[in-house]
Amino acid sequence: MSAEFWAAALTALWTGVLTSVSPCPLATNIAALTYISKHSGSHKLAVPVHGLLYALGRALAYIMIGFLLVKSLLSAPSFSFFMQKYGSQALSPILVLAGMYMLEMLGRGFEGFNIFNVSKFKAKAGAVSSLLMGFVFALAFCPISAALYFGLIIPLAAKNSAPLSLPLLYGAGTALPVIGLAVALDLGLKKISCITGLGAGFLKYAKPATGWTFIACGVYLGLKYIFGII
CA atoms within 13 A on the CB side of 162: 22
Query: How far, in Å, CA of 146 to CA of 19, rounded?
Result: 9
pLDDT at position 10, please?
94
Its pTM surpasses 0.85: no
Alpha-carbon distance values, 89 to 10, 83, 118, 152, 214 (Å): 20, 9, 43, 14, 14
pLDDT at position 111, please?
46
pLDDT at position 44, please?
63
| pLDDT beneath 70, residues of the chain | 1, 37-45, 84, 107-127, 185-186, 188-200
pLDDT at position 215, please?
92
pLDDT at position 165, please?
92
Say if residues 57 and 131 touch (Cβ distance below 8 Å). Answer: yes
Residue ranges of domains in the chain: 3-87+122-150+159-204
What's phi and psi for 220, nearest 5 deg?
-60, -50
Give CA 143 to chain center in angstroms: 12
pLDDT at position 212, please?
92
